[in-house]
Amino acid sequence: MKKIPESNRLDQTINVLREGYQFLPKRFKQLHTDVFQMSLLAEKVICLTGEEGARLFYDRDKFQRKGALPKRIEKSLFGENAIQSMDGDPHEHRKLLFMSLMTEEHLQRLHDLTLRYWREQASGWGSEVVLFEEAKQVLCKACCEWAGIPLKQEEVKDRAEQLWLMIDAFGAVGRRHWKGRNSRKESEQWMIDKILDVRQHKLDAPEDSALYKMAFHRTLEGDHLDARMAAVELLNVIRPTVAVAAYIAFGALAIHEDKELEAKIRTDENAYMEWFAKEVRRLFPFVPFLGARVKQDFNWKGYPFKKGRLVLLDIHGTNHDPRLWEEPHAFRPERFEDWNGGLFDLIPQGGGDHYKGHRCPGEWITMEAIKASMKFLVEGIQYDVPSQDLSYSLRRMPSLPKSRMILSNVQLKGETRIEG
């Protein structure tokens, strides 16, 4: 039996917060290995990277999600006892609820709503706007309407900010973290009120909408989810959609830095936009790593994995693994022209199977929101990019361009084409 390489005997919690996305890739490189162990939050943790590591991590016979999420993440980002912490049949049953929303018709409607709200938002812009801030509001409006959640115009800015603060808290301590936790409480109550209104027939929601489906979903035992749990899962549809605002800022940055991208999108819009959206998710930082716990003792490549041990998968490092991606730090959408659709190499929102595994069901929502938003930037407006700080830190989690992507001299073009 081989001993798992150890990074450092000292607890690494502070270093993870200090180094962010770079922490795990740096250690894997230093140790020349795809597996090592360390201490995190006073607990021994095994870390994995690469396609083989991802394939192992998503083996449902070897790993479970129960007990893997730190409470601080549950209380800010995902919500307590949500789908991310479920396993086995209950997880598969709950996952089908989310997957029922990911039909081609539903996704096209979200795409169209996103385009519509971009035009509406842009009609009120002045001489200069911060794209990231505008994107949060556009996505909040589009996703709420798509999900059947009524949202007054005067609520949009505050609700969008609440949803983002939950996301912004996952890599934070102190004030940023507590703002995220407070925003979760406020947002959960907002969703609880809507769930109860639908159940009590005070609010009509389409039967195929996320709001209706969460309100009347039944567990394997035949019971409705309690109102708080239904609200948590409804937020797990809305919150990640607003998070796409970060990808939109990064996508605009990519277009700004390579003037040929816009022409390529125009020339072969459908195929190239698909590649473009995948490359935005692969290259730019969002999820640093994910966790699971070992279900039963097993050995992998001669290394022992003991029951109950926490294991982290290096998401950011795998998406930049030079064994998988030629020129991994270059923005090259064309790399996906011949991509085989692997389940364990492109893993910005997790890997494995969508239906039975823990791959994020909102992956298609993310793609449609990015594609619609980039379509609007290319076809819907003309603009300048003034001098600003467009650098982004790999230490801050989540990361964003420091200026949040400022556009100036924005002018609407003719109607942006809406498909369908």
pLDDT tens profile 388-398: 999 999 999 99
pLDDT tens profile 249-288: 999 999 999 989 999 988 777 799 999 999 999 999 999 9
**Contact indicator for 272, 333 with CB cutoff of 8 Å:** yes
pLDDT of residue 75: 79
Q: What percent of the chain has pLDDT over 70?
A: 98
Q: Is 420 domain-assigned?
A: no
Distance CA 160, CA 87 (A): 31
| Predicted confidence band of residue 415 (pLDDT cuts 50, 70, 90) | low
- Please determine, for residue 380, whether its predicted confidence score (pLDDT) is greater than 70: yes
Q: What percent of the chain has pLDDT over 90?
A: 86
Identity of residue 42 = A
Distance CA 377, CA 61 (A): 45
- Please determine, for residue 419, whether its predicted confidence score (pLDDT) is greater than 50: no
Q: Is 196 domain-assigned?
A: yes
What kind and span of H or E run contains 294? strand 289-294
CATH code at 274?
1.10.630.10
Q: Is 16 domain-assigned?
A: yes
- Please determine, for residue 103, whether its predicted confidence score (pLDDT) is greater than 50: yes
Distance CA 323, CA 411 (A): 43
The domain of 81 spans 6-412
Q: Is 21 domain-assigned?
A: yes
Domain count, the chain: 1
- Please determine, for residue 178, whether its predicted confidence score (pLDDT) is greater than 70: yes
Q: Is 215 domain-assigned?
A: yes
pLDDT tens profile 12-46: 999 999 999 999 999 999 999 999 999 999 999 99
Mean pLDDT, the chain, integer: 94
pLDDT of residue 138: 98
Tokens of 167: 């996301």
What is the b/e burial string over 99-122, where b = at least 16 CB atoms within 10 angstroms of the residue's CB? eebbeeebbebbbbbbbbbbbebb
φ, ψ at 24 (rounded to 5°): -70, -50
pLDDT tens profile 47-84: 999 999 999 999 999 999 999 988 888 878 888 888 88
**Contact indicator for 283, 332 with CB cutoff of 8 Å:** no
**Contact indicator for 264, 254 with CB cutoff of 8 Å:** no
Q: For the sheet containing 310-314, what is the strand order?
A: 6-11, 35-40, 43-48, 310-314, 289-294, 63-64
Distance CA 288, CA 273 (A): 25
Could you give the 3-state DSSP secondary structure of residue 309? Answer: coil
Residue 378: DSSP 8-state: I
- How many CA atoms within 13 Å lie on the side-chain side of 117? 24
| C-alpha separations of 240 from 30, 81, 167, 208, 306 in Å | 33, 17, 8, 20, 33
Q: Is 323 domain-assigned?
A: yes
Q: Is 379 domain-assigned?
A: yes
Q: For the sheet containing 128-130, what is the strand order?
A: 128-130, 406-412, 381-384
pLDDT of residue 267: 79
Q: Is 1 domain-assigned?
A: no
Distance CA 283, CA 316 (A): 8
Distance CA 45, CA 122 (A): 47
pLDDT tens profile 119-170: 999 999 988 999 999 999 999 999 999 999 999 999 999 999 999 999 999 8
Q: Could you tell me how many residues make up the chain?
A: 420
Identify the bridge partners of residue 311 per DSSP, sorted by sequence position: 46, 292
Could you give the 3-state DSSP secondary structure of residue 8? Answer: strand
